[in-house]
Amino acid sequence: MTDSPPKTYCVNHPQTETSLRCNKCEKPICVKCAVLTPTGYRCKECVKGQQKQFETALWYDYIIAFMISSILSYVGSRIITIMSYFTILLAPVAGVIIAELIRTLTKRRRSKRLFQLTTLATVLGSLPILIMYLFMVISGLSQGGFGLLWNLLWQGVYTFTVTSTVYYRMSGIKIG
């Protein structure tokens, strides 16, 4: 006779045998239900409960983030019109400035929606100049204005780079 431990089954999937347990609540969980955290595997319920503690943004942080990031992104896109290939160097700097200013103004309060809104506002702030160049290229190509393609290219590079930099800097702690 062998002394094998009793079989345990996942709390959410009773047909799935498991030896894995949540390191916080000790519930048996299967691989589908496990979330890897820096301290080990946890069930989704414990992770959600923990994430709510990280949602610290106040209602006006969203307004501040939207207004400041869209305005600064617009200003940056205006500056890029005269910087051409320096866009490759300056757009990431603009993204860092936007993200760090938002983080400072919101006193480093955080929320998944806050960094998403900041990223969206950054895109929206850079779109007017990008769209203007797009229309200029469409109307200018019929008149031989291929020089406008470069301006459109640099605006596109700026929009992509500043947005991805803001997203990266703002997302920081991943909140589900």
**Domain locations in the chain as residue ranges:** 8-54, 59-171
How is residue 8 written in tokens?
């345990």
- The helix (H) or strand (E) run that includes residue 18 is strand 17-18
Tell me the mean pLDDT in the region 100-125.
Answer: 93
Q: Residue 116: which of 50, 49, 57, 36 has the closest Cα?
A: 57
Pairing relation of β-strands 34-37 and 17-18? unpaired
* pLDDT classification of 173: cutoffs 50, 70, 90: very low
Which tens digit of pLDDT belongs to each residue from 11-57?
Answer: 999 998 898 999 989 999 999 988 888 788 888 888 876 665 567 88
CA dist 90 and 39 (Å) reads 38
Between 58 and 172, whose confidence is greater?
58
Task: Judge contact between 127 and 162, C-beta under 8 A.
Answer: no
Tell me what pLDDT residue 26 has: 92
- The helix (H) or strand (E) run that includes residue 134 is helix 112-141
pTM over the 0.85 mark = no
Tell me what pLDDT residue 143 has: 65
Which tens digit of pLDDT belongs to each residue from 73-100?
Answer: 999 999 987 888 898 999 999 999 999 9
Question: Does the structure show a pLDDT above 50 at 131?
Answer: yes
